[in-house]
Structure 1
Amino acid sequence: MFIPCVRPGIAHTARQLRHALQCRSFAEQSGGSESTRVALVQGASRGLGLEFVKQLLDKPDHRVVATCRNPDGAAELQELQGRSSGRLDIVQLDCTDEGSIAEAASQVSGSHRHLDLLLNVAGILHIPGKMSPETALSRVTADSLLTNFQINAMGPILVSKRFASLLAKASEGSSASRDRPAVIANLSARVGSISDNSLGGWYSYRASKTAQNQLSKCMAIEFARRKQNIAVVMLHPGTVDTDLSEPFQKNVKPEKLFAKERAVKQLLDIIEGVTMETNGSYLAWDGQSIPF
């Protein structure tokens, strides 16, 4: 791809120019076709998010928007884009910054007429040397609570808010119906279930996922009341072999520790079967309902 040179004093940055060329290329290739399914993966630079991008690109009728905080440092995403034949767009988005989310939504709206799937994948459980799941009340801190809530609960709802209009366009057009609605899929966790909590601990993480579930349920009810064909589901991927779970895998049975490839395939199979009848569902990797 040709990238124009940028001299000092020119208003647009190299990244803005690069994105403008990508948008024009996407628009020309898709022709705004309603038959093209468009998926956005929020938190796509590694782990499950990156694997979602890979498997969605394996679907010939799909175009993918991958967002992350630092696109220039996302080497694997950049490599995927180079092999995607123009079907992958990479957009900067920090889910803790509403201004960044709004800018990303504006950019995506310039290159796509609608969204069929929004996957909120970014999540946090620990930060090496700084934050870990609390095993006792005495270890709970304001910083841990705030960080978990910002990324695990506030991030998905704010991203959904900004991209709802693109999902609505799928609902208004021919690409979404009650049997195959546009979908917001938020990666939750079984530990977010209050009813299922028999072990305690992990205060901040549990509470942030519970909050995410409540916010997601509110969205699901609102879309249904508006008679929009947009379904919201909360998905528990199981314990997946990623950086997020690595320090906590010691007591996980081998058959219960999923490779990223398996986990993503299982979740995409569930998403493919979502209808407005299952709107607002909280589901495990095997399709079983989880009590709130």
Structure 2
Amino acid sequence: MSALVQGASKGIGLHFCKSLLSRHRVNVIATCRDPGTAPQLCALKEQYPGALIILKLDVTSQDDIHNAAERVQLDFGSLDLLINSSAMLHPSGKGETSLRDVSAEGLSVTLATNTIGPLMMAKYFAPLLMKGTGAFGAQCSDKSRQHSAILVNMTAKVGSIGDNVLGGWYGYRMSKAALNMATRNLSVELGRGQSKVICVSLHPGTVDTDLSRPYHKNVPTKKLFSPEHSVNCLMHIIENLSIAKTGKCFSWDGSELPW
């Protein structure tokens, strides 16, 4: 069994690595932009020296993604789970509150990290996912409905067009809405043939991470989750996914979010 977490240096990505290593007998490939500035991830590798591999990968670099895919192909030959976790709210750290705050540069950087990067990950890792063992998720007795692997794109509720009643946060909302469309497209293409890959978008809730920290004062205490709690909820969803759920968007509590 092998799983790759893209964006694993901190926050949700780091806790996905911890959960996978502690709950499953699985090799974890953890990627981040600069392993030298990821002390928690490096400490985790010391705890699981034989099961955790750290690779340098900037999700905005197609060369990095290609090189990482070749490394995983060489070391493992297949992949059972891919989680695209890294994201940014805005290069400034704060979402645009109105149209006057929108800039072409800010939109480009946000989309490159939140949308284009995960899609490039899918492009280069899809062949490995199609060779997976189906170790994650719930397999169906009907062989024609069985899956080989799972691809997870971390989305956000604010990326839902149907749920948007407040506006603002142009770049982040747009990037996550576009990522949801990419997930849906991937579910169609990778759901054909015998080697099916389940593709879903998952919303982790409002999590106590650097991305959301500037807005914690507006979040009720009971609705601000620790990374551990959020990841536990999301892993429960992942462990119970079937091909019937591919192409959908789920919230941390298992409810389906509107596109």
Q: Give the equivalent residue in structure 2 for 1:164.
A: 126
* Counterparts of 1:42 and 1:116, CA distance in 2: 14
What's the secondary structure of 2:83's corresponding residue?
strand
- Classify 1:174/1:289 alpha carbon distance in 2 versus 1 (closer, same or farther; 3 Å): closer
- Classify 1:174/1:225 alpha carbon distance in 2 versus 1 (closer, same or farther; 3 Å): closer
* 1:109 Cα deviation after fit: 1.2
TM-score normalised by length of structure 2? 0.93
CA contact (8 A) 2:134 2:149 kept: no
In the alignment, structure 1 residue 58 sits paired with structure 2 residue 22: yes
Q: Give the equivalent residue in structure 2 for 1:153.
A: 115
What's the secondary structure of 1:233's corresponding residue?
strand
- Classify 1:174/1:117 alpha carbon distance in 2 versus 1 (closer, same or farther; 3 Å): closer
What stretches of structure 1 move > 2 A for 4+ residues in a row?
173-181, 225-229
* 1:137 Cα deviation after fit: 0.7
What's the secondary structure of 1:191's corresponding residue?
helix
Of 105, 110, 114, 2:69 maps to 105
In the alignment, structure 1 residue 256 sits paired with structure 2 residue 205: no
Tell me the amino acid that sits aligned with residue 43 of structure 1.
Answer: G
* 1:224 Cα deviation after fit: 1.6
Alignment of 1:236-255 (within 5 A): 236-255=203-222
Tell me the amino acid that sits aligned with residue 282 of structure 1.
Answer: C
Q: Give the equivalent residue in structure 2 for 1:47.
A: 11
Deviations 1:198-224 (A, max 9, x none): 111111110000000001100001112
* 1:60 Cα deviation after fit: 4.1
* Counterparts of 2:6 and 2:129, CA distance in 1: 15
Larger of the two Rg values belongs to structure? 1
Tell me the amino acid that sits aligned with residue 237 of structure 2.
Answer: I
* Counterparts of 1:148 and 1:265, CA distance in 2: 27
Q: Give the equivalent residue in structure 1 for 2:35.
A: 71
Structure with the bigger RCO (C-alpha within 8 Å, sep 6+) is 2
CA contact (8 A) 1:282 1:291 kept: yes
RMSD: 1.5
CA contact (8 A) 2:2 2:78 kept: yes
Tell me the amino acid that sits aligned with residue 288 of structure 1.
Answer: S
- Aligned sequence identity (%): 43
Of 78, 94, 98, 1:132 maps to 94
Alignment of 1:4-23 (within 5 A): none
* Counterparts of 2:210 and 2:247, CA distance in 1: 29
* Counterparts of 1:123 and 1:113, CA distance in 2: 27
Q: Give the equivalent residue in structure 2 for 1:23.
A: none
CA contact (8 A) 2:129 2:148 kept: no
CA contact (8 A) 2:90 2:106 kept: no
- Classify 1:135/1:175 alpha carbon distance in 2 versus 1 (closer, same or farther; 3 Å): closer
* Counterparts of 1:261 and 1:133, CA distance in 2: 25
TM-score normalised by length of structure 1? 0.83
Deviations 1:202-249 (A, max 9, x none): 111100000000011000011123343210000000000011000011
Q: Give the equivalent residue in structure 2 for 1:26.
A: none
Runs of 5+ consecutive residues of structure 1 not aligned to the other structure: 1-36
Runs of 5+ consecutive residues of structure 2 not aligned to the other structure: 140-144
* 1:174 Cα deviation after fit: 6.8
* Counterparts of 1:245 and 1:131, CA distance in 2: 9
CA contact (8 A) 1:180 1:274 kept: no
What's the secondary structure of 2:152's corresponding residue?
strand
Q: Give the equivalent residue in structure 2 for 1:229.
A: 196
* 1:131 Cα deviation after fit: 4.9
What's the secondary structure of 1:225's corresponding residue?
coil
* Counterparts of 1:151 and 1:157, CA distance in 2: 10
Of 246, 251, 257, 1:279 maps to 246
Deviations 1:180-199 (A, max 9, x none): 64100110001111111111
What's the secondary structure of 2:23's corresponding residue?
coil
Q: Give the equivalent residue in structure 2 for 1:142.
A: 104
* Counterparts of 1:222 and 1:180, CA distance in 2: 13
Deviations 1:110-160 (A, max 9, x none): 111211100000000034xx3521111111000111011001110111011
